[in-house]
Chains A and B, each alone.
Chain A
Amino acid sequence: MIDADMTNTDKVILETRDLTKHYGGVHALEGADFVLHQGEHVAIMGDNGAGKSTFVRQITGVEQPTRGEIIFDGAPVQFVGPLEARRAGIEAVFQTLALADHLNVADNLFLGREKTKWDWLGPFRFLDYKRMHKETVAALEKTGVKIPNIHNTIQNMSGGQRQCVAIARTASFHSKLTIMDEPTAALGVQETEQVENIVRTLKEQNEPLILVSHNMRQVMDLVDRIVVFRRGRIVANLDRDQTDGQDVVAYITGAKTQPEYDIDGAA
């Protein structure tokens, strides 16, 4: 079911049809139809356990859906793992971080895609530390992330700083689709602002984003559209300019359901 009032005629970057995930008897995700266009920033909101992370895990290949279709960049996909999704161009920051503790910021930022010289040496090609350092500083300065010494290993950094590194890493990939699952949940006021700056940079570069967040102000500030999940189902698809915080909360809590999603009165 594709949105009737969706006026954006841009290219569809991601579409899911009847995406469903059951964990044994738990229906964590049920029949999710979702569309994302090129350059569009969409927020996913919903209570704890509503199925937001589950949805993200199906798209990013972390898990395989029970049922349903995922169409990414014009072709149906079935990722067997997160690496395959990343190779296809889906970059994700998960609620649990994936950084190498004993490496420093630049090493983590460039892990797996190092700048190198003397490439004829194959696996023993040399790292271009100078260039990676310069690009790291540039990337971090652009986002305003505060780190006292980028030569320090990640393990000595605060949770917020680590989160910022993970997000800066994601944002600097120039992927086809970026997904952030509660990127600012553990962050202070300033760090949250930095992450939001990164999101704005992505918007300027016309890169599409799915943002899972509980932060109403942030969502209203940043995104074009809000999709509300409740008990594993999508219950609303709201244009940011035609809704407000109270309206969204009503959908989250179940006081309201958009008629086109009220299939079997599950609300």
Chain B
Amino acid sequence: MAEATHGTGGLKYDHSKRKRPQEFNVLIALVLIVATFEILGQVLPYMEGQSLLFDTGDRFDTIFNEARLRIIILQVAIVGIIALGVTQVIITGGIDLSSGSVVGFTAMVAMSFAQVAEVNGMANPRAIFLDQGWVNLPVVVPVAVGLCVGVFAGLINGSLIAYTGIPPFIATLGMMVSARGAASWWTRGQPVSFPTEGYAAIGAGMMPVVWFLLLAVLFHIVMRYTVYGKHTYAIGSNIDAARMSGINVKRHLTLVYSIAGMLAAVAAIVLSAKNLTAQAGMGIMYELDAIAMAVIGGVSLQGGRGSIIGTVLGALIFGVIISGFTYLKLDAYYQEMVKGAIIVGAVVLDQWRQRRNADRV
């Protein structure tokens, strides 16, 4: 695009000096974090010169340590799917604390429609709907049921927030508790296992990563190039301006939370298919991990700012840090504590950025 088209009124604009996009800074942070772990691997005596991402010289196929890379992306893929929805919610200026519990409940429900009739020639001991004959169903049934559960939970969140004015924090906190309760109630606490091959295939091998990337591309396009995306940003940026512009803010918020619920359901289906089982405790704390990924990726908790690309990078940073701690042989206790510190740090960074922006006006 010619430079002259950027400005009006004859003002010159130096395109080469424009500000870097936020995502670029996140990418730099990712590289720096990887570098830090690599250096620690060389420096700490007990590490014996091991590398985080690169082969240590014993193999000749590629220079990367594929096993660890695979673990990192598999680890973040499922929570990453949730983070795609959480990103949209946070961009509207809201928050969704219910996604982890929605994962639990959805996994239970979807799995109970995905069970086989027989295991090793005997009736499936865990089958929920054996008497009804709802076993060996085609894979679309559990998937459709699961998605409906997720959308329904999101719909309740969204309508509560949009139409009754309950703060998102409270509304989704309520859903967090209720959906977790529903997950236990569904089978009175029993796990649900033995899915059909078709269902299991959804989560087999690297499939979680495939779903994550596909959905990331889809929602990148949606947020960047569609009216839905534009209105999502507008609401988070200035809800009064959005309302005055004729945007149906209530309906839009309901839609955003419903999509977040649907993405939590996708995560639940992929997760239960991968584990071949569902339990009421599935997905505990996932909501916080998903929020952390978004915030690390530059999504502002004050709304209006952030992107899907940022969140994907944030998810990678998250995965690298967790893997890095295992690689440095640090206790899981430290991992949790540091995770908390990272979330707080990202929020502080965001507020500092916002204030700097505000000062310039």
Contact = CB atoms under 8 A, between A and B. Distances in A.
Interface of A: 82-83, 86-87, 98-103, 107-108, 111-114, 116, 121, 123-127, 129, 133, 137, 140-141, 144-151, 155-157, 159
Contact of B240 (A98, A108, A133): A98
Interface string B286-314: 00000000000000000011000000000
Interface stretch (B188-196, B224-232, B335-343): B224-232
10 contacts: A87-B246, A98-B245, A103-B230, A107-B230, A124-B227, A124-B228, A125-B227, A140-B9, A146-B8, A149-B7
B354 to A, nearest CB: 10
B13 interface: yes
Given A99-B238, A155-B361, A147 B8 contact: yes
B243 interface: yes
A13 to B, nearest CB: 21
Interface of B: 5-13, 18, 222, 225-228, 230-231, 233-234, 236-238, 240-247, 252, 255, 304-305, 357-358, 360-361
Nearest to B357: A155
B18 A100 contact: no
Contacts of A140: 8-9
Contacts of A111: 230, 234, 241-242, 245, 247
A148 B230 CA distance: 23
B245 A112 contact: yes
Contacts of A114: 227, 230
**Overall SS of chain B's interface:** helix
A146 B231 CA distance: 26
Contacts of A101: 237-238, 304
Nearest to B225: A126
Contacts of A150: 6-8
Given A83-B246, A114-B230, A123-B255, A100 B241 contact: yes
Nearest to B251: A123
Contacts of B242: 100, 111-112
B6 A148 contact: yes
Contacts of A112: 242, 245-247
A214 B245 CA distance: 28
A103 B244 contact: no
A50 to B, nearest CB: 25
- Which 9 pairs of residues, A with B, have the shortest CB-CB distance? A112-B245, A146-B9, A102-B304, A100-B237, A112-B246, A102-B237, A111-B245, A98-B241, A140-B8
A121 B305 contact: no
B263 to A, nearest CB: 15
B250 to A, nearest CB: 12
B226 A148 contact: no
B305 A102 contact: yes
B246 to A, nearest CB: 4
A124 B219 CA distance: 11
A99 B5 contact: no
Nearest to B18: A149
Given A98-B240, A146-B9, 6 more contacts: A123-B231, A129-B225, A149-B6, A150-B8, A156-B357, A156-B360
A82 B357 CA distance: 30
Nearest to A118: B226
A98 B238 contact: yes
Contacts of A116: 227
A146 B11 contact: yes
B7 A102 contact: no
Given A121-B226, A148-B6, A149-B7, A102 B236 contact: yes
Contacts of B18: 149
Contacts of A129: 225
A151 B6 contact: yes
B244 A83 contact: yes
A220 B230 CA distance: 41
B236 to A, nearest CB: 7
A39 B304 CA distance: 39
A133 B2 CA distance: 13
Nearest to B238: A100
Residue picked from B13, B227, B304, most chain A C-beta under 10 Å:
B227
A112 B233 CA distance: 12
A151 B5 CA distance: 10
A51 B99 CA distance: 50
A67 B116 CA distance: 71
A141 B8 contact: yes
B6 to A, nearest CB: 5
A149 B11 CA distance: 8
B233 A103 contact: yes
